[in-house]
Amino acid sequence: MTQLVDNFQRVVRYVRISVTDRCDFRCVYCMSEDMTFLPRDQVLSLEELALVAKAFTELGVEKIRLTGGEPLVRRGIEELVEDIGRLEGLRDFAMTTNGAGLVKQARRLREGGLQRLNISIDSLDEERFKKLTRTGRLQKVIDGIHAAKDAGFERIKLNAVILKGRNDDEILPLVDFAREEKVDISFIEEMPLGDVSEHSRAETYCSSDDVQSVIESRYRLLPTTETTLGPSRYFRMPDSETRIGFISPHSHNFCSTCNRVRVTVEGRLLLCLGNEHSVDLREVLRRYPGDIEALKSRIIDAMVLKPEKHHFTTDGDVQVVRFMNMTGG
Ligand code: SAM
Ligand code: SF4
């Protein structure tokens, strides 16, 4: 089988596919309050998204994560999950979601072959949760987490972006919540994607090392070499099944082991989160509808563009003009 190998001998085995740029939340670090979303004809259809997923699995990709925007607001997401869930060669099929739609959708997604869920939750305080997400309701997300457990999802992982002065006093409560719920949790450093006017990123920056020392004030953290093929570094606690992960694009650069590419909902193949390089897959999809070989060939040719590393800094400058909801977090 042809494999996807870049110029730095990294083999691409993981693709994140964004299924929509839309969302029912407006998280302050991800979107501005007034967002304009893409017109429908610029967005890949469900059939096109399924073909992209198939092409990647035929090129050695073993892990697919669906993301967005909010994947659960895309109409037909259940059918797309079923189509992708059937692909041969796929070993790990996951989704990142804000969790608000899980009460309704978790069971069908699990039955469709989705294996793992990452659910974002940045605060356990109703008021603050509302402030951070602008439109979200905490209880709906907590009910969503329970629905996902009931539907049989294993190793559910919570994602929390920690911002100094906003929710950095919730690090321990979030860890305790994860322990009680018997789920994993990853803490994410804020990335400079899109120009968010709501706060200054230089002031809110909270490094993974800061988060780690807060956790270590209460719990012993044991480093592990476990990986989910993603960027998280994992730790275990001696008295719990919960794993603690850190996603640290700034403080612990993870580029050297990067095995990931992303596809935006417009069908742009992004070779690196922190660079503007991209290759247009939508153009091939629409010029040669249903032609998987043409699509694979465009993907193979794109590999030489994968840069060695990203160039994020913490000085608050926007280095990539795409918003996270366009990038596919
Ligand atoms: N809507 C889903 C969700 O919130 O989980 C999936 C898409 S969201 C863009 C994916 C992840 O990216 C979420 O965990 C979110 O907290 C994170 N995220 C969004 N903007 C970010 C930023 N500027 N820096 C770091 N993480 C960010
Ligand atoms: Fe929506 Fe996720 Fe972005 Fe929040 S982080 S606005 S839930 S896409």
Ligand nearest the Cα of residue 18 is 1
Q: What is the pLDDT of residue 249?
A: 75
- 69 CA → ligand 2 middle, Å: 6
Q: What is the pLDDT of residue 325?
A: 61
Backbone dihedral angles phi then psi of residue 269, each to the nearest 5 degrees = -85, 115
Q: What is the pLDDT of residue 311?
A: 64
Residues 293-308, mean pLDDT to the nearest whole number? 92
Mean pLDDT of the chain: 91
Smallest CA separation from ligand 1 atom 4, residue: 98
* Separation in Å, CA 192 to CA 23, 60, 250, 310, 326: 19, 31, 10, 11, 13
Q: What is the pLDDT of residue 255?
A: 76
Closest CA to 68 of 298, 281, 263: 263
Residue that wins the pLDDT comparison between 293 and 271 = 293
Ligand nearest the Cα of residue 196 is 1
Atom of ligand 2 nearest to the CA of 70: 8
- 289 CA → ligand 1 middle, Å: 32
Ligand nearest the Cα of residue 264 is 1
Residues 209-229, mean pLDDT to the nearest whole number? 91
Calculate what percentage of the chain has a pLDDT beyond 70. Answer: 90
- 99 CA → ligand 1 middle, Å: 12
Atom of ligand 2 nearest to the CA of 133: 4
Distance from C-alpha of 321 to C-alpha of 14, rounded to nearest angstrom:
24
Mutate to test the pocket of ligand 1, among 18, 20, 32, 188 (most ligand atoms within 8 A of CB): 188
Count helices and strands (H / E) in the chain.
11, 12
**CATH 3.20.20.70 applies to domain 14-327:** yes
Helix (H) or strand (E) holding 66: strand 63-67
Distance from C-alpha of 115 to C-alpha of 251, rounded to nearest angstrom:
30
Distance from C-alpha of 152 to C-alpha of 202, rounded to nearest angstrom:
40
Among 15-29, 123-137, 188-202, name the one with the lowest average pLDDT.
Answer: 188-202
Smallest CA separation from ligand 1 atom 23, residue: 191
Residue type, 181: E
Q: What is the pLDDT of residue 140?
A: 98
Quick one: CA torsion of 299, 63, 118, 152, rounded to 10 degrees?
Answer: 140
Pocket-forming residues, ligand 1, beta carbon under 6 Å: 23, 29-30, 67-68, 70, 96-98, 120, 159, 161, 188, 190-191, 193, 324-325, 329
Ligand nearest the Cα of residue 136 is 2
Give the tokens for residue 55. Answer: 């092409």
Residues 179-193, mean pLDDT to the nearest whole number? 92
Atom of ligand 1 nearest to the CA of 70: 1
Distance from C-alpha of 245 to C-alpha of 212, rounded to nearest angstrom:
10
CB atoms < 10 A from the CB of 43, how many?
22
Taking the CA atoms of the chain, what radius of gyration do you get in angstroms?
19
What band does 232 get if pLDDT is binned at 50, 70 and 90? Answer: confident
- Helix axes of 46-58 and 292-302: crossing angle, nearest 10 degrees: 60
Q: Where are the domains of the chain?
A: 14-327
What band does 219 get if pLDDT is binned at 50, 70 and 90? Answer: very high
Residues 249-268, mean pLDDT to the nearest whole number? 84
pLDDT digits (tens, 9 = 90+) for 140-185: 999 999 999 999 998 999 999 999 999 999 999 999 999 999 999 9
Smallest CA separation from ligand 1 atom 8, residue: 329
Q: Is the pTM of this model over 0.85?
A: yes
Backbone dihedral angles phi then psi of residue 18, each to the nearest 5 degrees = -90, 125
Smallest CA separation from ligand 1 atom 1, residue: 70
Mutate to test the pocket of ligand 1, among 70, 161, 205 (most ligand atoms within 8 A of CB): 161
